[in-house]
Chains A and B, each alone.
Chain A
Amino acid sequence: MTLGTVDIWLIILGLGVGSYLLRLSFLGIVGSRDLPEWLLRHLRYTAVAVMPGMITPMILFPAATGGQFDLVRMGAAFATIAISLWTRNATLTIFGGAATLFALHFLLAA
Chain B
Amino acid sequence: MTFPQDFWHGFRAGLPFLLVIIPFGIVFGVVATEAGLNISQTMGFSIFVIAGAAQFVAIQLMVENAPILIVLATSLAVNLRMAMYSASLAPHLGPVPWWKRAVVAYFMVDQAYAASILKYDDSPQMTPRQKFAYYMGVVTPVCPMWYVATYGGAVLGDVIPPTLPIDFAVPITFLALIVPMLRSLAHVVAALVSIIGVLVFSFVPFNLGLLLAALLAMVAGAEVERQITKRVAP
> Quick check: is B93 within 8 A (CB to CB) of the other chain?
yes
> Quick check: is A107 within 8 A (CB to CB) of the other chain?
no
> Quick check: is A53 within 8 A (CB to CB) of the other chain?
yes
8 A Cβ contacts from A56-100 to B: 56-60, 62-64, 70, 72-73, 76-77, 80-81, 84-85, 88, 90-91, 93-95, 97-98
Partner of A44, one of B20, B78, B195, B225: B225
8 A Cβ contacts from B60-101 to A: 60, 62-63, 65, 68, 71-72, 75-91, 93-95, 98, 101
Query: How would you classify the secondary structure of chain A's contact residues: helix, strand, loop or mixed?
Result: helix
How far does the Cβ of A36 sit from chain B's closest Cβ, in whole Å? 11
Query: How would you classify the secondary structure of chain B's contact residues: helix, strand, loop or mixed?
Result: helix
> Quick check: is B167 within 8 A (CB to CB) of the other chain?
yes
Chain A: interface residue count, which band?
Answer: 35 or more
**Given A51-B174, A53-B213, A62-B167, 15 additional A-B pairs, CB 8 A:** A11-B72, A19-B54, A20-B105, A38-B222, A44-B225, A48-B221, A49-B194, A49-B214, A53-B214, A55-B178, A77-B172, A84-B175, A84-B176, A93-B172, A102-B164
